[in-house]
Amino acid sequence: MLETLFPTLSRVRFVVQLAMLFLTVYGSVVVGTYAADKITGALPALSCAYDQANGAYCVLVPTQHQVHHRIGMAMVQAQQLTTQMVLPLLMVLLTFFAFFFVIGKAFCGWVCPLGTLQEWVGKIGRRFGFGVRRFEKGDLGEVKRIRPVKWVVLLGFVFLLPLLTGLGVTPHSLGNPYCDICPSRIATTLLTGNTEELALRINDGWKFGLGATANVLIGFMLVGGLALRLPFCRICPLLAFNSVFQRLSPMRLSKPTRASCGSCHICTDACPMDIPEISSAEGRKAYNEDCTLCGRCVEYCPQDKVIELKWGPLALFGSSRAYYKAKVARELPDGTVKPLKFVRNAAKPATADA
Amino acid sequence: MRTLIVMTSFALSCAADLALAQHNHGAPAAGTRPADAAPAPGGRPGGGRPSGMREWTRQPLLLGRPVKDDRAAALITARGLTAGGITVYAADGPAEARKREFAIDAEGARIEAVAPKTGNYHWVLAREESPELVKVASTAWYFGNPGDGPTDMLATPKHELEIVPSPLPREHRSYREAEKWKFLVRYHGQALAGQALAMETEFGSRTQAVTDANGIATLVFPRDFKQPPKGDGESEDPRARGRFVLVTEKEDGGKRYLTAFNYSYTQDPERSRSLGWGAAFGILGMVAATPLLRRRQQAQGDKDHA
Ligand code: SF4
Ligand code: SF4
Ligand code: SF4
């Protein structure tokens, strides 16, 4: 019965993502109207606090807030940094970690509403026959080149600018600069039928500029996402934030040394984050900072038990040849499925046909 | 696969348990807000305006202002009714502290959050009673600290004729111009159908709504906000607040009941935002992404089939 309803890991994930999208975007109908009733104020996923109907807040809001007000501003008054000032930020991290410990980076691959939306845009792209673009040599360049960007966004926009603003160095409008450029703010509020966040502030130059950046990002994500998988995740500060803690959660991707790995690279082809290490490396290195624990590489590894999704010692899902065969018959590793009929007719004969 | 499904359910229920646990301890983030998403949470019935304001209504009002350097206290003054004290209801904290009385002196009544670490919304009311008339002024005050949401506190009947916001604005929001909000009118704890609820705003608007079968009146906040006068070089404050009061009246057994609820509202954010510019930059992003779509399947398809 369970196997009929959930024949593949992707199906389980799709259902979980759907439920989580509902909870993170419209969850107030379940958990109650007031922010104090929310599931948490420090979720390891971009569940946006600007969305008035949501079920939880993302951790980046209180982080920016604490760095700006409790650390920056308090340092100006006290002329020093005391434990008292850092305590609220530590509380935020503790709350975050209480959640993160349970499923680790699967918050990205299974819970984050923005990740889900990007994935669905990608699915539409595949249906319409847009070829997948990749961060690899010969296409968009090596993935290593884009990896530092998310760290710059995290350190610059979530920590440094709010701190400098608290210290009075940068203008007040730069107090929560990451929220101002965050595409999830626009995506989730639009999903509740609210266009306020899409509209730009016109009475403040900084806010206008940052807001415009968010709008460019969401526009880029919606169109670029048709060809490039998870375009925003690649520069997402929360991916960097989560990856700092990724080894501290029992939930992980495991690829111990196995002779049967023929380095066929199919797992990398299947990986929406274009992670080459999952095929080329093993052990600790195979579980990369960019991994969202989506599990696609496990589904597409044609060798028995070479890659596994594990929670502590417990193997939740492992690769197998039989599973791979069934899976690849439905969908190619890069997500290509049978394009829609009219797309097929219009396309050249060489178009992939799954 | 079965292990995975079972584990998924397990993980989700763990997350839910944890959620409850951390909620009970008061999430630190509850006191935070996306800075600038909205002004400081609604609990500024005083609206941050000078106290020597002109009279804009004859209805009873409770006006409050924060106490400097004490986030867990506020100063409340009553207008348009004579009351000896202020009653404060909290949503959280020990049972005996859920309802407290505070005396009014020359300055007003200094009210406090139920405990220094338990804030959120508190319900504030003052009462004047004579054999013919019961007059009640009510408002809500938000203390920034974490604490339970006000759902149960609002649901508990507190006196004869009540106006109950359904709901109060969330912590990062406020009542705003041009928005529709619902208010329940209750009499002895029962929803009152067909009851008139009048609204007056500081900027001179007057409007009225009648409650439906469930006792709910839906009011549209008038688009009447006027920014306070600016000093030289000062820019417009998008967080400025205006006041409004809702009033309802009822006769029963030869006695008249008049109840008012006053609070603050802010200007329509669209006044300082441009959807046109927003859409323009969104489209710019889309255009910038189109080169990614150009290379079609060919090379890729060959590779995938390899
Ligand atoms: S704008 Fe982005 S970072 Fe800020 S609360 Fe919303 S999702 Fe989180
Ligand atoms: S990396 Fe992607 S999935 Fe993870 S938090 Fe960022 S947007 Fe969401
Ligand atoms: S490495 Fe595997 S689990 Fe991680 S993002 Fe890539 S496909 Fe998903």
Instruction: Considering only the beta carbons, identify the residue of A215, A223, A317 that sits closest to B289.
Output: A223
User: Nearest Cα to A190, choosing from A229, A152, A219, A157?
Assistant: A219
> Looking at CA atoms only, how far is residue A342 from chain B in angstroms?
16
pLDDT < 50 positions in chain B? 10-52, 297-306
Q: Is the CB of A49 under 6 A from ligand 1?
A: yes
Instruction: Please report the pLDDT score of residue B193 as a whole number.
Output: 97
Question: How is residue B48 written in tokens?
Answer: 């941050």
pLDDT for B19 equals: 40
Give the closest residue (by CA) to ligand 1 atom 7: A48
- Name the residue of chain B whose CA is nearest to A127's CA: B297
- Which one-letter DSSP state was computed for residue A260? T
Helices A83-103 and B2-24: crossing angle in degrees, nearest 10, is 160
Count A/B contacts: CB-CB distance under 8 Å: 267
Residue B304: predicted pLDDT: 46
Ligand 2 atom with minimal separation from the A230 CA: 2
Give the residue among A283, A284, A324, A334 at the shortest CA–CA distance from A304.
A324
Residue nearest to atom 2 of ligand 2 (CA): A233
Torsion on CA atoms A338, B290, A216, B284, rounded to nearest 10: -140
Backbone angles phi, psi at A53, to 5 degrees: -105, 10
Note the pLDDT of residue B295. 67
**B285 with A3: Cβ contact below 8 A:** no
Say whether domain B27-225+239-267 belongs to CATH 3.40.640.10: no
3-state secondary structure of A330: helix
A168-187 residues touching B, CB cutoff 8 A: 175-176, 179
CB of residue A275 inside a 6 A radius of ligand 3: yes
Distances (CA, A) of A351 to A60, A111, A224, A225: 42, 33, 20, 20
| Domain chopping of chain B, boundaries | 27-225+239-267, 270-306
Contact of A121 with chain B, judged by CB distance below 8 Å, is answered with: no
Cα-based angle A172, A41, B156 (whole degrees, multiple of 5): 110
Task: Provide the pairing of β-strand B70-79 with B61-67.
Answer: antiparallel
Does the distance separating the beta carbons of A88 and B274 come in below 8 Å?
A: no
Which chain A residues have a beta carbon less than 8 Å from that of B293? 130, 223-224, 226-227
What does the alpha-carbon distance between residue B172 and residue A347 come to, in Å, rounded to a whole number?
50
Distances in Å between the alpha carbon of B177 and those of A34, B64, B101, B138? Answer: 20, 21, 33, 21
Q: Residues of B numbered 113-172 whose beta carbons fall under 8 angstroms of chain A's beta carbons: which are they?
A: 120-121, 146-151, 167-168, 170-172
Atom of ligand 2 nearest to the CA of A44: 5
Write the DSSP assignment of B107-160 as a string of letters. Answer: TBEEEE-SBTTB-EEEEEEEEEE-SSEEEEEEEEEEESS----SHHHHHS--SS
Instruction: Answer yes or no: do A61 and B289 touch at CB < 8 A.
Output: no
Kindly report the nearest CA distance between residue A257 and chain B, in angstroms.
Answer: 23
For residue range B258-303, list pLDDT tens digits in order. Answer: 999 999 999 988 888 999 999 999 999 999 999 999 865 444 444 4
| pLDDT number for residue B300 | 46
Atom of ligand 3 nearest to the CA of A287: 1
Mean pLDDT of chain B: 81
Q: For position B36, what pLDDT does the model report?
A: 33
Longest dimension (CA), chain B: 92
Ligand 3 close to Cβ of residue A293 (< 6 A):
yes
Question: How do residues A87-120 score in pLDDT, each as one tens digit?
Answer: 989 999 999 999 999 999 999 999 999 999 999 9
User: Is A278 close to ligand 3, i.e. is its CB under 6 Å away?
Assistant: yes
Greatest alpha-carbon span in chain A: 71
Residue B31 is predicted with a pLDDT of 34
Question: What's the confidence (pLDDT) of residue B22?
Answer: 35
Which residue in chain A has the smallest CA separation from B302? A352
Cα A167 to its chain centre, rounded Å, is 31
When CB atoms are compared, the residue of A99, A203, A221 closest to B18 is A99
- Tell how far the Cα of B266 is from the centroid of ligand 1, in angstroms: 23
Measure A126 CA to nearest chain B CA, in Å. 10
Q: A58 CB less than 6 Å from ligand 1?
A: yes
Using DSSP's 3-state secondary structure scheme, residue A69 falls into helix
pLDDT along chain A (354 residues), means of 10: 80 96 94 86 94 93 93 88 89 96 97 98 94 93 96 98 96 95 97 95 94 98 97 98 97 90 92 96 94 97 95 95 94 85 64 41
Strands, E assignment, A162-250: 200-201
Residue nearest atom 3 in ligand 1 by C-alpha distance: A179
Dig out the tokens for B82 from the structure. 């004579």
Residue of A17, A116, A253 to mutate, ligand 3, most atoms within 8 A of C-beta = A253
Q: Which pLDDT belongs to residue A297?
A: 97
**Local structure of A35: helix, strand or coil:** helix
What is the value of ipTM here, to two decimals? Answer: 0.92
Between the CA of B297 and the centroid of ligand 1 the distance, in Å, is 35
Element holding A277 (H helix, E strand): helix A277-280
| Atom number in ligand 1 closest to CA A114 | 7
Residue of A nearest to B238 (CA): A203
The count of other CB atoms within 10 Å of the CB of residue B292 is 20
Chain A within 8 Å of B48 (Cβ-Cβ)?
Answer: no
Q: Which of B280, B301, B276, B284 is nearest to A224 (CA)?
A: B284
Q: Specify burial of residue A202 (Cβ count, 10 A radius: 0-12, 13-18, 19+).
A: middle
Name the nearest CA neighbour of B89 among B46, B60, B120, B62. Answer: B120
Nearest-CA distance B256 → chain A (Å): 34
